A and B are shown apart, each in its own frame.
Chain A
Amino acid sequence: MQVDEPLIRETLRQVIDPEINCNIVDLGLIYDIVIHGSRVLVRMTLTTPGCPMHELIANGVQMALLNLEGVDEVEVELVWDPPWHPDMMTDVGRARVGMVPR
C-alpha cells in the first residue's frame, strides 16, 4: 500500500507534546514530509532548542510512522531554521493554548 502525505499527517497527530498537551502537527512542528516508496523523511522542529522532550518526540515520530502499513523506513531530521513560532500553529493548536483562531 502506498502511503500519502495526508495519511502521514493524520498519523503524526498521535504524537503529542505532553507539556502543552497538543499533537505535533497542530503545534506546527512538522515542516516537510517527503515520501519515497516505503521510505519517509520528516523534517521537523521543536518549540525550543534544548527542549527536554527532544529525543522522545523524534523517536515517537518514527514509532508512529513505522506502525503504518507501507512504511518500512523513517528518518526524522530536526531543524532549527526557520525557528518555530506560535503563528505556525493550526487553529486547533491555537485553541489548545488559548490563542484566538485566525
Chain B
Amino acid sequence: MNLPLRFLLTGILALFVAVGWLIVRPDILATYHYNQYVIALTHLLVLGWICTVVMGAMYQLVPVALETRLHSERLAKWQFVFQVVGVAGMVWMFWVWNMKQVGHFGSVLALGVALFVFNLVRTLLKVPRWTLVATAVTAALFWFSLTIVVGLSIATAKCTYDSAEQLSPTSILGAMIHGLRSVAGFMARFDQISAMHAHAHLGGVGFFVMMIVGVSYKLIPMFTLSEVQSHRRAAASIALLNVGLAGSFMTILLRSPWKLAFTLLMVAGLAVYGWELRAMLRARKRRSLDWGLRYFLTAVSLLAPLSILALVLSWPGLRLTAFTGQLENLYGFLGLVGVISFAILGMLYKILPFLVWFGSYGQEIGRSQVPALADMYSAKWQIAGYWMFLSGLMTTSVATVAANPLGVRAGCALLALSLATFAVNVGKILSHWLRPIIVPLNVKAPPCSPTTARSTAAPLGSLISAS
C-alpha cells in the first residue's frame, strides 16, 4: 500500500476507536480534564488520529506543494512502525497511569518523530523556490519537535529515580538516569497543570493550526481556482501566529498575567488569516464549493468562537471553578474536534480519493475513461455527515459546559453517526482501489505501451525549432 495512504487509514482507525470510547465512557468529557482517562483519550485523538493523518498528508503534499521530492521513503516506512507502537503503548500506559512506561513508549514515538522531522527538513532544503508555505511548514515542524520534548519532560517529572543513588553517573545507564533526574528537578519548578496546558498549546496551535493556516495558502487557491490576494497579509498571519505562540507558551508555563497579550497576538493572526481566506474565496473562479471544502471552511470559521474562549480563559486572575474547568474542556474539545478534526475530514475528502485514484487510474489517463475524484464517493452521505457532525459538535459543546454526561453521550453518538457516513464513503473510495472501474476509450488503433511513449519522447526536441 502507498505510504501516505497507510498513515491516513491508520489515523482514521484511531478516530473511530476514540469516538467509540467516548460513547462507552462519556463521563470522561463531563469531568475536569486532569485525570488519566482524559489524558489517554486526548493522546489517542491527538497522536493516533490527528498526528498520524497530518504526517501521511505531509509526506504526500509537502513535496508536491513545494515542487520537490521526499528525501527518503524508507525513513518514512520506519517512522510508521515507531508511530503505531509509540501511540498504542502511550495511550494504554496513560490509561493505567504508568508514567515510566509512558516515557518509554513516548521515546519510541519521539524517535519516529525525529525521523519524520529529519526527512521533511531534508526535503525542505531541496525546495527550489522558498515560499510562505515552506516557512509555515518549517515553523510547524519546529513547534512539533518542541511539543514532544516538553511532553517527554513532563513524563520524566512524574517518575522517581531511586536507582540513581546506586548508579555511577559515568556509566551509560547511570548518566541517563542522572540526566533524567535533573530534567525532573528542572520541571518541578513549574506548575504541573500549567506545563500540561503549555504542552497542549504548542502541539495544537504550533503544529496543527500552523499547518492548517499555512497549507490554506496553497490548497484554497488550487481547489477553488483562485490566487493569494495579499502576500503581505498571508505573511503577517503566519508571523503573528508564531510570535503569539512563543509568548503564549512561556506565559502559560509561568502563569504570567501577560498571557492575555500573547493570546491577543495569536487571535490577531487568525483574524488576518480569516480576512485573506475571505478575499481568496471572493476572487475564486470555481464558483461552486464542494462539500469537502465546506467541511474545511466551517471548521476554520469555528476558530472565531474558539478565539473568544481563548481570550476568556487567558484573562488575568481568572479563578478555576467547576464552571471554568468545563470551559477549558470545551476549549480543548472544540479545538481538537471542531476545528482540527473537522478540517481534516474535509481535506480527507480531497486527498483520500486522490491517492486511490493515483494508484488505480493514474496510468489509465488518456487510455481509458477514468472517473472524476468526486465520482468516487457519495455526495449525499458526505452532506448528511456534515450536518450530523455539526449538530454533534453543538450538542457535545453545550453538554460539556453543563457537565451533563447524558448530553455528551448524545452529542458523541451524533458525531459517531457522522463518522459512520464517512466510513461508508471511505469504503466506496477504497473499492476503487480493490476493483478499479476502467472503461476503454473509443480507440482507433491498438493502445501503445507507456514504454514506447517514453522511449520515443527524447529525440523530439527538434520539433520546437521546426515550428
Contacts and interface: CB of A to CB of B under 8 A. Distances in A.
B448 A67 contact: yes
B60 to A, nearest CB: 8
Interface in B427-456: 441, 443-445, 447-448, 450, 452-453, 456
Given A50-B218, A51-B222, 12 more contacts: A21-B373, A39-B460, A40-B463, A41-B467, A56-B363, A61-B366, A66-B448, A66-B452, A67-B366, A67-B443, A69-B445, A73-B460
A92 to B, nearest CB: 14
B285 A19 contact: no
A69 B444 contact: yes
B143 interface: no
B190 interface: no
Interface residues of B, number: 50
A36 B466 contact: yes
Interface string B331-342: 000000000000
| B223, B363, B367: residue with the most chain A Cβ atoms closer than 10 Å | B367
Given A21-B374, A52-B64, A63-B366, A74 B453 contact: yes
A36 B365 contact: no
B87 to A, nearest CB: 28
A2 B28 CA distance: 73
Interface stretch (B297-305, B354-362, B386-394, B413-421): B354-362
A81 interface: no
A60 B366 contact: yes
Given A18-B373, A62-B366, A98-B286, A34 B467 contact: yes
A24 B223 CA distance: 16
B460 A75 contact: yes
A16 B372 contact: yes
B463 A41 contact: yes
Interface string A36-62: 100111000001111110101101111
Given A67-B441, A68-B444, A68-B445, A41 B464 contact: yes
Contacts of A98: 286-288
A90 interface: no
| A63, A66, A68: residue with the most chain B Cβ atoms closer than 10 Å | A63
B68 to A, nearest CB: 9
A18 B459 CA distance: 30
B417 to A, nearest CB: 29
B461 A75 contact: yes
Nearest to B290: A19
B225 interface: yes
A76 to B, nearest CB: 8
A102 to B, nearest CB: 13
A62 B334 CA distance: 49
A34 B444 CA distance: 21
B463 A64 contact: no
B445 A60 contact: no
Interface of B: 60-61, 64-67, 218, 221-223, 225, 285-288, 350, 354, 357-358, 361-363, 365-367, 369-375, 441, 443-445, 447-448, 450, 452-453, 456-457, 459-461, 463-464, 466-467
B366 A59 contact: yes
A86 B61 CA distance: 23
Contacts of B371: 18
A75 B465 CA distance: 13
16 contacts: A16-B372, A18-B357, A18-B361, A18-B370, A18-B373, A21-B374, A34-B466, A47-B225, A49-B67, A57-B365, A59-B450, A60-B366, A63-B367, A64-B441, A77-B464, A97-B225
Contacts of A63: 365-367, 447-448, 450, 453
| B288, B350, B365, B375: residue with the most chain A Cβ atoms closer than 10 Å | B365
A53 B445 CA distance: 26
B19 to A, nearest CB: 29
Contacts of A60: 365-367
Nearest to A54: B64
A74 to B, nearest CB: 6
Contacts of B370: 16, 18
A14 B366 CA distance: 6
Nearest to A48: B222
Contact of B463 (A36, A67, A68): A36
Nearest to B374: A21
A57 B372 CA distance: 13
